[in-house]
Amino acid sequence: MRALLHGSGFYFGRLLRVALVSLALAWLCFRLNAPFARFADQMAREAVSETTALAWALGRHLLLLLALLLVSLLSGYAKVIVVTEERTSALLAWVSALGFCLRRAPAVFGHALAVLLLAFLAVVLWSRLDAAFLTTGYKTQLLSLILMQGLVVTRIALRLGLLAGQTALWRRGP
């Protein structure tokens, strides 16, 4: 417990700076998305076919989602770099994370894609099981609670697996 508290206090400021850089980049993604969203909506309204209009309308949301996922991925690697290399600069950790992700792109994005697919499968499985019965009595409430807690545990395990995989990829060598 003493080591946990010491490590938490020691890295708190550094990880807070990494999180603030992450928030600033997410804010930048939303700011850059606003004019693009207006443009994409205009193009969707002017589109001749419904397929093109849907592509513009959904594509802008997909682009924003991908940008935010990239920020999250880089943030995870920046956290790993701060902890494993004892870095004090959050910006330099972000630059190192970007360089590492570009150098090891297949492994980095393959790992992230695997975790995303497992999370998607967990939500699909939970939704199928949740829709299989009505929650009416205490027995079905207990079953619903167990299913919901199983989803929470799965999300925690996937998050830990993501960070553990990022740490393993980083330690394997830039």
Based on the fold, state whether residues 110 and 71 are members of the same structural domain. Answer: no
Sign of CA dihedral 83, 87, 90, 96: negative
- Residue 86 token pair: 């004892």
18-22, 107-111, 170-174: least confident range:
170-174
Question: Is residue 4 over pLDDT 80?
Answer: no
Based on the fold, state whether residues 83 and 139 are members of the same structural domain. Answer: no
Cα dihedral 71, 77, 79, 84, rounded to 10, equals -170
Of the chain, the percentage scoring pLDDT greater than 90 comes to 71
Q: For residue 74, what pLDDT is reported?
A: 95
Based on the fold, state whether residues 79 and 116 are members of the same structural domain. Answer: no
Q: For residue 137, what pLDDT is reported?
A: 83
Question: Is residue 151 over pLDDT 70?
Answer: yes
3-12, 94-103, 142-151, 153-162: least confident range:
3-12
- Residue 96 token pair: 């190192």
Residue 91 contacts by C-beta under 8 Å, 6 or more apart in sequence? 21
Mean pLDDT score, 95-120: 94
Mean pLDDT score, 65-79: 95
Based on the fold, state whether residues 35 and 85 are members of the same structural domain. Answer: yes
- Residue 118 token pair: 């497992």
Question: Is residue 119 over pLDDT 90?
Answer: yes
Of the chain, the percentage scoring pLDDT greater than 70 comes to 99
Residue where one domain finishes, among candidates 85, 103, 121 = 103
Based on the fold, state whether residues 55 and 21 are members of the same structural domain. Answer: yes
Q: For residue 3, what pLDDT is reported?
A: 79
Domain extent, residue 78, equals: 1-103
Based on the fold, state whether residues 31 and 53 are members of the same structural domain. Answer: yes
Tell me how many domains the chain contains: 2
Does the pTM surpass 0.85? The reply is: no
Integer Cα distance of 40 and 61 in angstroms:
10
What's at 41, amino acid-wise? Answer: D
| E strands, the chain, in order | none
Q: For residue 174, what pLDDT is reported?
A: 61
